[in-house]
Structure 1
Amino acid sequence: MPPANPRPADPTPARQSRGAAQLRQPPEKVPTIRDVAEAAGVATSTVSRALSNPDRVNPRTRERIEEVAAQLNYVPSSQARGLSSGRTNAVAVLVPDITNPFYFDIIRGTQNQLKAAGYTQLLVDTEESAEMELDALQKMRKSADGFILAASRLSDEQLDNVSGSQPLVTINRASANAPTVVIDTPSAMIQALEHLVSLGHHSVCYVSGPPKSWSNSMRWKIFEDDSRQRGLETHRIGPFVPKTTSGAAAADAAVRTGATACIVFNDLLAIGMLQRFRERGIRVPEDISIVGCDDIFGADFCHPPLTTIASPIEQAGRVAVSMLLSQLNPIYSGSSRKLAVMPTHLTVRGSTGPAPDRKSG
């Protein structure tokens, strides 16, 4: 005779079986460089070059490889091993002023290149202060595997000391010891002077940027030497903080020199000068011509559009990362180099024109 209250079948074994089956499923496959190459339709050697030495790969191919690597969450094997060996897989990028559009493209270039290589970017604004920059380098030694210093304000001695104790690369700041990416603005400075001379200018003013800026010193040296060879009358005013808010003081000082043209440390300062000239009723370029530097976003939107020195700024960030990776990761050691020079050119717009004396004649 069957039991009065039969117990329902226990579903637990079935659940346990399904759970056991799930546990027996193989873990998610870790993507390899071969996976990235196959998905991007290129050779593995091309992937390696794109992630370690981007200037040697066609930009479209490089961007496709970076997108695929990010989608697959590809991390080089040596980077993955670093997670268990005290490595942070993070790189600190230090800039003097995060609000300056010049650094936007550098930050974008370093970010994209680091992401493709499996690193996290740590961004630090040093506020144009060598003391803050040095303090950040010391405090972040344990939280970053390496450093990229954009337009470092450190002295030569300070920079040599820190580069001897930790992996780093500088951008627009030559160093005896650290690998360096230099934006060749001195060559473009000569182009700017040639342009102004062709317009009949004989008295030219250099509007100086931060006193601790290496690029500022280099630009003035080229400006002074080339102007002397051309027999130009030269003036130097400043230093000025490289912001639009300093433009009014710079414009007033430029007027007092009697120069008919100015070459300005950066576009922000030049745009501030344009605003001040407009307030004073001084016409650009009819009364005075202005040349900026950096070709930042908005340089062609101001009134008049700014003649300026342009360069591949984002590419400078990418190249700096590839140079740093050669210090951090053996897979990239073949791309090791100490110096990379980014070309520049003069972009002529409406802020430069014939010198007043030439036009009136």
Structure 2
Amino acid sequence: MRSFRYLLFFLCICVSAVADAQRRVFSPAEQQQISIPTPSLFARSNAFEIDFSSLKDRDYSFPLPVGKAVLAGSQAIEIETKEGDAVKAMFQGTVRLSRNIAGYGNVIVVRHDNGLETVYAYNAQNLVKVGDRVKAGQTIAIVGGKDGRTFCMVAILVDGRWINPSTLLSVKSHRLRPQVVVFRKQANSVDVSVKEEEDDVTSLDPEEMTDDPFEDDATFQLDLSELEEDHWAYPLPESHVISPYGGSRRHSGVDIKTVPNDEILAAFDGVVTLSGPHYGYGNCIVIRHAFGFETLYSHQSKNLVKVGDKVKAGQVIGLTGRTGRATTEHLHFEVHFKGHRINPAILFDHAKKALKVSTLTLGKNGSVKSGK
């Protein structure tokens, strides 16, 4: 029993020592100076980025949500409010400094897990100490001020350099800007830039696809809702489905019917790669689109395009018929991706004669997954 007590006492001392060591992660200089480089921040690379658009509400808080904020120069924000208001931590992190500093009053610096540091100055009272872990929105101080004004000065640091807060957030609305920001180390500074968003895909025109999305990645996401209305068309607008894709017949496409010699429309912008009789398909047309997509139209009474033609979505390319193996006038419509047949219903809502509002995850190996 006595041995067990000694062991328990020893374990408590070890746990206490570890916890105490974890709290002392900052050097004396880091606990004394506001502006000081962050060790190892750029050790692996000379740049890092933060996607502020992906943060949830719980991941960010404006320091004084009800205060009136103004940009003070280009390096800080002053937020005026009433006495006794609570100052909140902007992001999750660890308190690196909590002390009185000449010219700034009571100051707190929080080193955040995302690589940034935030400074909160002129506090009436600091409520956290060095080593404390804080969450976004946690109260860390009581607002103070200077020269008869009640306010908190807030700054954002990267590797000890003060950056313009308005690059990351709207001073007026208090909200983070939904963007990806790149922080790049220079010789004597840190360059802050907004990463340009990739252009939305608005057309499946293969000639507009300047870069192969699968060159560096195994998958690519295509948001069908981003395709502009004049860049897609339901191939037979007044039709109804007489035979769906798959089933016991293992049907390779969907059969849709209206009346004989009705106009068939190109589903997307593209280039005609086949136009003519093709086995059981009868008069057949294949159009190549971007990213590895192809659409096939068959049983036409007449094709109105030839190989090499560039066609626009909605352009009339043929007339419905019953050539090949067909028992009635209709359009047999197929969609291929990288040589694999896929269900046309992944792209089109046959009942509404409209493009689906969904995002497709396209695989380099020819896989297609649909999600809202």
Which structure shows the bigger proportion of residues in helix conformation?
1
Which structure shows the bigger proportion of residues in strand conformation?
2
Q: TM over 0.5: same fold?
A: no
TM-score between both structures, scaled by the size of structure 2: 0.26
Instruction: Report 1 or 2 for greater relative contact order, CA contacts < 8 Å, sequence distance ≥ 6.
Output: 1
TM-score between both structures, scaled by the size of structure 1: 0.27
